[in-house]
Structure 1
């Protein structure tokens, strides 16, 4: 049965990929070598720009995708031996101020007037890069994978300038060839440009994109045609050293202050123009923004995304294998409980059809946890098939060095000698992106038979302008183990069909509306149903970009192990308990172009043990654009249960202040009060980007006990990092 399902998906992929002709192949922008030097100043006064071809007459994507855009945008591109150049004239459509959050880097797309470039240097319609800016010059850069997925945590070295005029704003940028990956000799790249104008609530693109897809969808790129093959990047070696000093103190357990004096280094070595070697020695990630906390009322582990730079470039080769709850590799397992000593990674394209990735990381011992030194190795290879689909294989190995199980204290967690995973995956992306899907198998190996498990999962999704449906099923055996992965649940079968429909009325206020439905059923490996999570919803999206959704939900859970419904250490419901709950939810987000924004969600209905759960989440935002952005996010949960639990209230409150003095100086203060874990966290981060991709960070962190209001621990870190091209 498993093999036949995989075969069916492969046959569907072959059928949908019969024609490999690019959809927007007639949209061509010819790029010529610059006829004069170009100064990045937001002024179009160079001869090179007079000689450059213009990409104009953008197509509207939303609110409708059947006409040219009202907002006029002109794009020119050029290059020299070292840089790819871009200048964009973003004309006004209506009078009024620009809508931006701040000068903060990697801004929220839907809350800013912005221009974005989507670049596919291999013209494989699957992987690429994005660069852009909002109307006051805040930069945006990210790496793209799987056709349209964007990772904005990626950061690289480039320069840009935005200048505002009465009737337009101009964005000019220089992107070093050393900052991107491309194949030598290829003279046609995939390219598209996206413009969001919040005053008219219009999103547009140079090459037309159907409105059900993001403007970043690489299946719909046009062609950037080079007059000559792009110049070779030449010796491409970057060394990124850091120096760090810090002090911390544990007030809760007493003791003297602990001081940090550290140095480390990252290095990027271009093996070819499309294959990169990354090295790291004694890395430190203290400048990474703290995770946004949530109230955890779930039975399973929560997922938090990776933000550390070393793991990001070509990270999809490793991290995108599987599904959100079946990941054989999850890089946050490395280095959070033990210091990373060194690591190396080779990743990128061999040619248009083949990508490879290999990474090894070494951590040190942690004596207090009886944790030995460990090595983490992951290898992946990907082969493109058809126009956009691919087949991938992955191998993940975690090995404990000098492992002595007898030396592990009984009260300490026992770490296995090794854990390995081997997997194969077919990823379907049809030529027009209407059909997407995945089929995968995984096998785990361990030092005993308890860790030798199996996984199979597959899905097939169809997304037209009106109708969307998806079928997904999963099987995870009881003994499947991925110690370097994220698999919060084991020992189940799952089926999950979903369907949705949208109408697009000719209305002055409503952009689209329609229902969605989902049924998710879980069974244990003996065939007994353990979960039924179902909902029916109705969504209304307004032309102002505000959004309202209401849900009716039904949940059935047969507990497979004891569970405390408050997740606070109280008495647990016994294994085998049946729990039924109906609920009603609402969600609303206001139009993003307002200076004052707000949103809320509610949940009213049943809960475990015939109890009730009432949840309210509110988000408020106010900006003094472009310099200050204020935000407040709060969640209140009231759990009403019979004795011995009684009533439990949980508050989670998180005010945030972003001060962006310029687009290179940032100050962020984030406070989180989490009543469930009885903690108040204060994190203040100052960042000065004194040169491209080179920073000075000052990070202050406090954790407090709410009652009594006492300091638990406190730390201060100063970090200097510089990107040096050799």
Structure 2
């Protein structure tokens, strides 16, 4: 019976997608924003002095953009607060000057000064996206606010997998939030609103080798207190600024000079320790040195070299509680692996149901037992015409825990065709260079992404691994089709991961499965009770082993509600089935083999995070395998000034199973003091 229900559900999803594919031809083609929203670049001999005040005479020669239109709340209407942007450039820098008028200047929300803080996106801010290769896929994104704070990101494949509603809580490897480019901002507030002067050096960007350049460009202003977003080149409500295929264009850029594109970063580390035991004194000293080098071979290709790499400056991971049977995904935060990291990405596109990522950089230099020293490495990434190239080679050395040195070679090529489609291949070789076993592991893959219509994208891959002693079945396949427009988000995906598929340099939560997911979601706008948008959804995940025996099923029902004041309410219920063939332990409490059915209810509320005092609450009572579980969490944040803020959070999991019980508590408090937009104490 369950098998019949599953097949009927999947057939319904496939029929809807096929119907929409059939409609793709007759639907009126979306107008080309590249031509409808186009400005000709104005070159000057010398740019303005950045002081946050638009009083330099040179700004008057810049091209004016003042026709911003709303995406939210009233799509297509002019922005409620007048917005002007001037654009100009010299041979080495692109300049943008913003005048963000505001009829209630005291209502401007600006309390976040920390670099790359996501809170910047919740307050008043101004966003820029540059598609320097005009490929409608990749881009650089720059964000600032009335305090001159900076947030920057690299975008690959239009941020595929990203959700417009950030409260969904899922990230995507196609948006590199940890990339830090070199650019400059000065901002100020006055009686008419706020202004900002932005300078983006050409050396920060990659672009084609041509005398005359045309780039994709889009601009967005967020008015925090109104929860209003306004764009220069309009983007429908289903998408965000990362939809670079809908950007306007900046044309006529000439004789650009990236200067000397060489950055060398040497480093020295040192330390000492003294241990006294049983009258014996042991003094030890630690010292090390190394260097990172970044060099632009061409305007489109970048070479990174590292020797005796030090990752001491990398940001630590956020604490997570894992009450599943499978590993959690932690994003990469080490600088050497970040720039153009999206070019190496091959895998599932749904971060909420991560089936496989064939290349996961945290497999290099990190292990369950700690850090593995990196002797050195080199990486070449970039674009040549419609071709994306990415090559990396890294060598580690053994450590005191007995891990042998290893060499990692990763090569990735993809070719863009049509307006938003691509095809590519990936090869990964991991080879042990020390010890006796000389173990190796290899991954081969081909992948494609097809976009026959602006709202329809089909993604797929085929992969094979090669590991000594694992030959029963070492193949994997995956396909994902999604329809996304202003009213609907509908997708189906299917993955087949054979028992011995073993991408040791990738992220694979579960092998030996066949898994499918079908998802229906629409976004009604009641226009009453202070509700801006609702997102009722239903989806099913159905997973079998390689013998087609059901091992997991999840039925998910959710109602998300976004309010006009920026608050968000989320209610969901999950109905689970799990089959355990072997004993499994949660925190030392064993679960016996068998079939388990249980249900999970969850209610969460988040106030508008742009307010000076904000909070969130979550309550989730549920049955859990052969027992029950209750999850509760709360957080509160206060922005005392534009430099000083604090946030406290607490979460608790109470789990009661037939073989025992346990509780997990996770508390944190963060205090931030911003000395400037580039320096923060935490």
TM-score w.r.t. structure 2 length? 0.89
* Mapped contact 1:13–1:428 kept (Cα < 8 A): no
* Mapped contact 1:445–1:453 kept (Cα < 8 A): yes
- Distance in 1, matches of 2:474 and 2:243, equals 36
Per the alignment, in what secondary structure is the counterpart of residue 106 of structure 2? coil
**Cα-to-partner distance string for 1:593-641 (whole Å, 9 max, x where unaligned):** 3211111222111111x20010012121111131112111221111112
* Mapped contact 1:119–1:189 kept (Cα < 8 A): yes
**Cα-to-partner distance string for 1:444-474 (whole Å, 9 max, x where unaligned):** 0112234861110111111121111110111
Per the alignment, in what secondary structure is the counterpart of residue 602 of structure 2? strand
C-alpha spacing 1:618/1:180, structure 2 compared with 1 (3 Å): same
Verify: 1:378 aligned to 2:410, yes or no.
yes
Verify: 1:469 aligned to 2:490, yes or no.
yes
- Distance in 1, matches of 2:236 and 2:568, equals 20
2:463 alignment partner in structure 1: 442
- Distance in 2, matches of 1:394 and 1:452, equals 20
Q: Which runs of 5+ in 1 are unaligned?
A: 406-415, 669-726
Correspondences of 1:154-303 after superposition (within 5 Å): 154-185=179-210, 186-226=212-252, 228-246=253-271, 259-303=285-329
1:143 alignment partner in structure 2: 154
2:391 alignment partner in structure 1: 358
Match of 2:145 among 134, 137, 151: 134
1:596 alignment partner in structure 2: 613
- Distance in 2, matches of 1:251 and 1:459, equals 61
C-alpha spacing 1:418/1:80, structure 2 compared with 1 (3 Å): same
Displacement of 1:39: 0.9
* Mapped contact 1:319–1:329 kept (Cα < 8 A): yes
Correspondences of 1:401-550 after superposition (within 5 Å): 401-405=433-437, 417-429=439-451, 432=454, 434-450=455-471, 453-507=474-528, 509-550=530-571
Correspondences of 1:79-118 after superposition (within 5 Å): 79-108=89-118, 109-118=120-129
C-alpha spacing 1:275/1:36, structure 2 compared with 1 (3 Å): closer
Verify: 1:318 aligned to 2:376, yes or no.
no
- Distance in 1, matches of 2:88 and 2:472, equals 55
- Distance in 1, matches of 2:358 and 2:215, equals 33
Between 614-623 and 29-38, report the one with greater CA deviation.
29-38
Displacement of 1:320: 4.6
C-alpha spacing 1:489/1:247, structure 2 compared with 1 (3 Å): farther
RMSD of equivalent CA atoms: 2.5
* Mapped contact 1:102–1:626 kept (Cα < 8 A): yes
Verify: 1:338 aligned to 2:338, yes or no.
no
- Distance in 1, matches of 2:545 and 2:338, equals 36
Per the alignment, in what secondary structure is the counterpart of residue 59 of structure 2? helix
Per the alignment, in what secondary structure is the counterpart of residue 25 of structure 1? helix
1:679 alignment partner in structure 2: none
How many residues end up aligned between the 2 structures?
Answer: 639
C-alpha spacing 1:21/1:596, structure 2 compared with 1 (3 Å): closer
- Distance in 2, matches of 1:250 and 1:147, equals 54
Displacement of 1:360: 0.3
Match of 2:663 among 625, 649, 669: 649
Displacement of 1:24: 4.5
Per the alignment, in what secondary structure is the counterpart of residue 345 of structure 1? strand
Displacement of 1:403: 3.6
- Distance in 1, matches of 2:326 and 2:31, equals 45
2:359 alignment partner in structure 1: 329
- Distance in 2, matches of 1:246 and 1:165, equals 49
2:71 alignment partner in structure 1: 61
- Distance in 1, matches of 2:481 and 2:564, equals 31
Displacement of 1:19: 7.2
* Mapped contact 1:184–1:232 kept (Cα < 8 A): no
- Distance in 2, matches of 1:521 and 1:250, equals 56
1:618 alignment partner in structure 2: 634
* Mapped contact 1:534–1:555 kept (Cα < 8 A): yes
**Cα-to-partner distance string for 1:258-302 (whole Å, 9 max, x where unaligned):** 643222211111111011111111121112221111121111111
- Distance in 2, matches of 1:383 and 1:657, equals 46
C-alpha spacing 1:164/1:275, structure 2 compared with 1 (3 Å): same
- Distance in 2, matches of 1:493 and 1:296, equals 23
C-alpha spacing 1:505/1:247, structure 2 compared with 1 (3 Å): farther
- Distance in 1, matches of 2:285 and 2:103, equals 56
* Mapped contact 1:104–1:663 kept (Cα < 8 A): yes
1:124 alignment partner in structure 2: 135
**Cα-to-partner distance string for 1:663-685 (whole Å, 9 max, x where unaligned):** 122111xxxxxxxxxxxxxxxxx
- Distance in 2, matches of 1:276 and 1:237, equals 10
- Distance in 2, matches of 1:435 and 1:602, equals 36
- Distance in 2, matches of 1:499 and 1:197, equals 31
**Cα-to-partner distance string for 1:668-722 (whole Å, 9 max, x where unaligned):** 1xxxxxxxxxxxxxxxxxxxxxxxxxxxxxxxxxxxxxxxxxxxxxxxxxxxxxx
* Mapped contact 2:114–2:674 kept (Cα < 8 A): yes
* Mapped contact 2:47–2:95 kept (Cα < 8 A): no
**Cα-to-partner distance string for 1:108-165 (whole Å, 9 max, x where unaligned):** 1442211111000011110010112111111111111111343220012222211221
TM-score w.r.t. structure 1 length? 0.84
- Distance in 2, matches of 1:128 and 1:603, equals 39
Match of 2:587 among 561, 568, 577: 568
- Distance in 2, matches of 1:128 and 1:418, equals 36
Between 257-266 and 191-200, report the one with greater CA deviation.
257-266
